[in-house]
């Protein structure tokens, strides 16, 4: 895979963080021999230590862990080892938790209902530096930015570029939310697969860099309702 | 072809300008007496008036209609911009009501796109409808006659278009397909509501107005120091009116009663269709499931029990099966409910995503019921492990997509007795002013797109307990 550190041959080296042993072994067998699973951990602190040891290409990270949110693993690792990439993986989560992990630096979010081949595909994508959006994450992001829009109008914005999605990005997100794969989106919108990826990456960048309070406020409001 | 564009004579030739699609325009135009239209300074004004042009017989368009699609059909056929034609109709209506009459006649005579006959043809066999139209027409004629004898002769210019329009609308109302009736209902509803609402809220107002008019009229008559001889024609008019009321009154009363019964019958038919859709969603679906799992007695029992519970609760108290209203208050909650139910009853994962949220009303409940049906269909027939359900609340409408990557089908070949798609999804949505499209091909999965305008549900709730 181009762009992935070639420490374990061609296959990306994967680390699994999840508090359910059953799930970890399930993912392991689903990934099969298409990736190189180099380790697992079941909580925040051991995960941080083990990841620093074996420096995987991709960490499959559960959003909820007993010792705190998955975003703590991301923030702790990011500073020292920026080359380690994170893919959030969870059963069903509140949007604010998912957005928090993404904003901490994860390159994508998929739900546990994902099929084996799709998961492998997502791992390769993240290893190559692309963003992976599941339908649910796309929905969260559309929701978050739609909630921002009215607030943006009245007040002064620091960086309007970062605070809203372009129509094209919104279109791509909508198709992801409708269950389209990148390839199908490219065909639907008459653009190349690379362009789809760049749109998604740009959304991810906006999500991570936007410093607006509204994004956090949106998340907390969601928690209250 | 050229001759038939004469439906809107001036507009077709005057504003069409040179048509890119028909190379002969250059030869024909000079003979029509407007050679200067081809001049440079006329060319530009012609451009904005042009729209895309479709060859083929004149049809009412379904996709781009405000009322019945007559203007859009004319626009597509002649290549004139639809807005120009609409303005033409409105101006003609304001001048003399002629535009309305012409529109109604066109509605009756032009077949809709994709339909195999016009409404007029169906109306010919509808005897009661014709009697009704004739009755209303004659009533109007008498009114105009009275008006002209009392001296309001200016009303006479409106008479014929109005008579034609009222008779035509009556026939359309009785014979048009459901979606067009909905349009008519929306247009005429407020007027009828005004007349009907009088029974309750407006009746004091109406009595007050009548008393006021009577007092003013009598006052004018008596206070004007008119010699009694001048009152004679007035008395004559009153007598003629009385004679007409006595003579034709019962007939009109019967017509009015027919109208009421007609409305009730329609409400019953709608209720029946709704009921059929619900029974399909619940009982028939479960029976199909039971057949498919006949080898697993435990599951069959479980399904049967669940269905029994649902049916009982619907028959004797609670909300109808397949409807999510009553359990969910908002759209997002309704979508989540569909996800849970379908995942519990079928071996399929439902990936549900909602963007935005809003309160549920009758229309949105119907949308959710249709979405549920589409999801269940995907679970049963697609063979895919996951079905995606995406709902987005926009300011003007709610859109909902149900997509699977399963085996797909050819929408053209679905047999008519498989009610799921036609009745539960399509009819349910269009009855309430939304739209449903199915995109599928064998091997490529299926996507059902549902759109429901928001706040269109101000029409009377169609299932009150009065029946």
Per-residue confidence band for A148, with pLDDT thresholds at 50, 70 and 90: low
Distance CA B26, CA B17 (A): 10
Read off the pLDDT of each residue in B325-347 and give the average, rounded to a whole number. Answer: 79
Which of B329, B331, B351 to mutate: most A Cβ within 10 Å? B351
> What pLDDT, on the 0 to 100 scale, is given for residue A56?
92
- Strands (DSSP E) contained in B279-373 are 349-355
Q: Which two tokens stand for residue A118?
A: 């799709």
Per-residue confidence band for B304, with pLDDT thresholds at 50, 70 and 90: confident
Give chain B's mean pLDDT.
Answer: 73
Read off the pLDDT of each residue in B24-35 and give the average, rounded to a whole number. Answer: 42
Greater confidence (B299 vs A83) lies with A83
> What pLDDT, on the 0 to 100 scale, is given for residue A221?
63
For residue B30, is pLDDT > 60?
Answer: no
Least confident of B122-136, B411-425, B427-441: B411-425
- Look at B354 and A178 and tell me if their CB atoms are within 8 Å: no
Read off the pLDDT of each residue in B123-152 and give the average, rounded to a whole number. Answer: 76
CA B431 and chain centroid, separation: 8
For residue B131, is pLDDT > 80?
Answer: yes
For residue A3, is pLDDT > 80?
Answer: no
B contact set with A (CB within 8 A) = 349, 351, 353-356, 385-388, 390, 392, 401, 403-405, 447
Q: Which two tokens stand for residue B194?
A: 């005004």
CA A64 and chain centroid, separation: 14
Greater confidence (B205 vs B73) lies with B73
Give chain A's mean pLDDT.
Answer: 80
CB B5 within 8 A of CB B73: no
Least confident of B42-51, B105-114, B143-152, B368-377: B42-51
CA A215 and chain centroid, separation: 17
The minimum CA-CA distance between B438 and chain A, rounded to whole Å, is 14
Give the tens place of pLDDT for each residue, A23-66. Answer: 788 888 888 888 888 988 888 888 899 999 889 999 999 887 87
Greater confidence (B77 vs B37) lies with B77
> What pLDDT, on the 0 to 100 scale, is given for residue A23?
78
> What pLDDT, on the 0 to 100 scale, is given for residue B263?
85
CB A138 within 8 A of CB A173: yes
Q: In this structure, are strands B435-440 and B386-393 parallel, antiparallel, or unpaired?
A: unpaired
> What pLDDT, on the 0 to 100 scale, is given for residue B194?
53
Interface A-B, measured as beta-carbon pairs within 8 A, has a size of 47
For residue B41, is pLDDT > 80?
Answer: no
> What pLDDT, on the 0 to 100 scale, is given for residue A123?
92
Give the tens place of pLDDT for each residue, A84-125. Answer: 999 998 765 667 778 888 888 899 888 877 778 888 989 998
For residue B335, is pLDDT > 60?
Answer: yes
> What pLDDT, on the 0 to 100 scale, is given for residue B151?
59
For residue A225, is pLDDT > 70?
Answer: no
A contact set with B (CB within 8 A) = 111, 113, 115, 134-136, 138-139, 142-143, 146, 174, 177-180
- For residue B448, the chain A residue with the least C-alpha distance is A178
Distance CA A206, CA A203 (A): 5
How much of chain B, in percent, has pLDDT values that exceed 70? 71
For residue B206, is pLDDT > 90?
Answer: no
> What pLDDT, on the 0 to 100 scale, is given for residue B464?
33
> What pLDDT, on the 0 to 100 scale, is given for residue A219?
61
- Look at B355 and A115 and tell me if their CB atoms are within 8 Å: no
The answer for residues whose C-beta is within 8 angstroms of residue B359's C-beta and 6 or more apart is B329, B330, B331
Q: In this structure, are strands A68-69 and A64-65 parallel, antiparallel, or unpaired?
A: antiparallel
Distance CA B464, CA B247 (A): 37
Give the tens place of pLDDT for each residue, B427-453. Answer: 888 888 888 888 888 888 889 999 999
Read off the pLDDT of each residue in B244-273 and give the average, rounded to a whole number. Answer: 82
Read off the pLDDT of each residue in B28-35 and give the average, rounded to a whole number. Answer: 43
Greater confidence (B77 vs B321) lies with B77
User: H helices within B346-421, ranges in order?
Assistant: 362-377, 419
Which of A113, A143, A146 is closest, CB to CB, to B351? A113
CB B171 within 8 A of CB B130: yes
Give the tens place of pLDDT for each residue, A82-91. Answer: 889 999 987 6
For residue B419, is pLDDT > 60?
Answer: no
For residue B378, is pLDDT > 50?
Answer: yes
Per-residue confidence band for A19, with pLDDT thresholds at 50, 70 and 90: confident
> What pLDDT, on the 0 to 100 scale, is given for residue B156?
61
Greater confidence (B284 vs B442) lies with B442
Sign, CA dihedral A96-A101-A107-A113, equals negative
For residue B251, is pLDDT > 50?
Answer: yes
- Look at B401 and A113 and tell me if their CB atoms are within 8 Å: no
Read off the pLDDT of each residue in A147-163 and give the average, rounded to a whole number. Answer: 53
User: H helices within B324-361, ranges in order?
Assistant: 331-345
Least confident of A2-6, A132-136, A214-218: A2-6
CB A106 within 8 A of CB A88: yes
CB A194 within 8 A of CB A89: no
Strands across the sheet containing A132-133: A36-41, A13-17, A58-62, A85-90, A108-111, A132-133
pTM of structure: 0.51
* Chain B residues with CB-CB distance to A135 below 8 A: 351, 353, 388, 390
Least confident of B149-153, B204-208, B338-342: B149-153
> What pLDDT, on the 0 to 100 scale, is given for residue B463?
34
Distance CA A36, CA A8 (A): 7
Which of B384, B390, B402 to mutate: most A Cβ within 10 Å? B390
For residue A15, is pLDDT > 90?
Answer: yes
- Look at A113 and B349 and tell me if their CB atoms are within 8 Å: yes
The minimum CA-CA distance between A145 and chain B, rounded to whole Å, is 10
- Look at A113 and B392 and tell me if their CB atoms are within 8 Å: no
Which of B333, B342, B349, B353 to mutate: most A Cβ within 10 Å? B353
- Look at B390 and A178 and tell me if their CB atoms are within 8 Å: yes
Distance CA A43, CA A87 (A): 16
* Chain A residues with CB-CB distance to B329 below 8 A: none
* Chain B residues with CB-CB distance to A179 below 8 A: 351, 386-388, 390, 401, 403-405
Greater confidence (A218 vs B293) lies with B293
DSSP codes joined into one string, B403-430: EE-S----GGG--TT-HIIIIIIIIHHH
Greater confidence (B427 vs B203) lies with B427
* Chain B residues with CB-CB distance to A138 below 8 A: 353
CA B447 and chain centroid, separation: 25
For residue A72, is pLDDT > 80?
Answer: yes
> What pLDDT, on the 0 to 100 scale, is given for residue B12?
38
Burial group, residue A36, by CB count within 10 angstroms (0-12, 13-18, 19+) = middle
Give the tens place of pLDDT for each residue, B179-198. Answer: 777 777 777 666 655 555 44
For residue A149, is pLDDT > 70?
Answer: no
């Amino acid at each position: 895979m181009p762009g992935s550190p070639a420490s374990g041959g061609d296959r990306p080296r994967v680390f699994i963080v999840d508090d359910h042993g059953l799930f970890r072994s399930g993912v392991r067998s689903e990934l099969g021999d298409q990736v190189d699973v180099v380790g697992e951990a079941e909580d925040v602190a051991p995960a941080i230590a083990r990841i620093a040891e074996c420096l995987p290409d991709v960490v499959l990270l559960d959003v909820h862990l007993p010792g705190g949110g998955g975003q703590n693993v991301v923030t702790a690792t990011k500073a020292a080892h920026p080359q380690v990439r994170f893919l959030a993986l969870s059963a069903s989560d509140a949007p604010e938790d998912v957005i928090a992990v993404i904003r901490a630096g994860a390159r994508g979010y998929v739900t546990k209902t994902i099929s084996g081949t799709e998961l492998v595909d997502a791992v390769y994508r993240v290893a190559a530096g692309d963003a992976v959006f599941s339908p649910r994450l796309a929905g969260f992001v559309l929701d978050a930015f739609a909630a921002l829009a009215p607030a943006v109008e009245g007040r002064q914005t620091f960086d309007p570029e970062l605070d809203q999605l372009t129509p094209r990005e919104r279109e791509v997100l909508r198709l992801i939310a409708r269950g389209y794969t990148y390839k199908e989106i490219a065909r639907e919108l008459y653009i190349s697969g690379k362009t789809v990826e760049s749109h998604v990456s740009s959304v991810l960048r906006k999500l991570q860099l936007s410093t607006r309070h509204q994004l956090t406020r949106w998340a907390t409001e969601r928690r209250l309702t | 072809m050229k001759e038939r564009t004469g439906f809107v004579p001036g507009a077709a030739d005057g504003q069409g300008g040179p048509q890119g699609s028909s190379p002969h325009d250059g030869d024909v135009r000079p003979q029509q007496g407007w050679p200067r239209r081809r001049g440079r300074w006329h060319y530009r004004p012609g451009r904005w008036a042009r729209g895309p042009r479709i060859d083929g017989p004149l049809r009412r368009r379904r996709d781009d209609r405000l009322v019945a699609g007559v203007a859009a059909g004319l626009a597509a056929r002649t290549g004139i911009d639809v807005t120009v034609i609409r303005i033409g109709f409105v101006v003609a209506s304001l001048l003399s009501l002629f535009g309305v009459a012409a529109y109604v006649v066109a509605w009756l005579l032009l077949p809709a796109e994709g339909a195999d006959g016009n409404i007029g043809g169906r109306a010919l066999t509808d005897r009661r409808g014709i009697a009704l139209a004739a009755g209303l027409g004659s009533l109007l004629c008498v009114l105009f006659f009275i008006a002209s004898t009392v001296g309001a002769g200016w009303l006479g210019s409106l008479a014929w278009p109005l008579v034609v329009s009222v008779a035509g609308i009556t026939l359309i109302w009785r014979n048009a397909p459901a979606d067009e009736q909905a349009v008519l209902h929306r247009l005429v509803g407020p007027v009828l509501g005004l007349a009907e609402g009088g029974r309750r809220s407006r009746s004091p107002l109406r009595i007050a107005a009548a008393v006021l008019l009577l007092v003013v009229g009598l006052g004018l008559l008596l206070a004007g120091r008119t010699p009694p001889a001048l009152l004679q024609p007035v008395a004559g008019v009153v007598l003629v009116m009385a004679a007409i009321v006595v003579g034709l009154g019962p007939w009109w009363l019967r017509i009015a009663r027919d109208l009421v019964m007609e409305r009730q019958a329609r409400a019953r038919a709608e209720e029946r269709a709704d009921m059929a859709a619900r029974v399909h969603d619940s009982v028939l679906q479960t029976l199909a499931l039971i057949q498919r799992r006949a080898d697993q007695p435990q599951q069959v029992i479980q399904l049967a029990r669940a269905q029994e519970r649902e049916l009982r609760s619907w028959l004797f108290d609670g909300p109808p099966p397949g409807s999510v209203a009553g359990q969910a208050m908002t759209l997002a909650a309704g979508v989540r409910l569909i996800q849970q139910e379908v995942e519990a009853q079928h071996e399929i994962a439902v990936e549900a995503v909602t963007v935005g949220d809003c309160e549920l009303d009758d229309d949105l409940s119907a949308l959710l019921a249709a979405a549920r049906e589409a999801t269940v269909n995907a679970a049963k027939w697609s063979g895919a492990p996951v079905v995606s359900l995406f709902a987005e609340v926009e300011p003007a409408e709610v859109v909902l997509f149900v997509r699977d990557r399963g085996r797909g089908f050819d929408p053209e070949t679905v047999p008519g007795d498989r009610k799921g798609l036609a009745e539960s999804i399509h009819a349910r949505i269009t009855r309430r002013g939304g739209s449903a499209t199915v995109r599928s091909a064998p091997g490529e999965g299926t996507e059902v797109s549902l759109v429901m305008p928001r706040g269109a549900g101000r029409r009377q709730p169609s299932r009150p307990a009065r029946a």
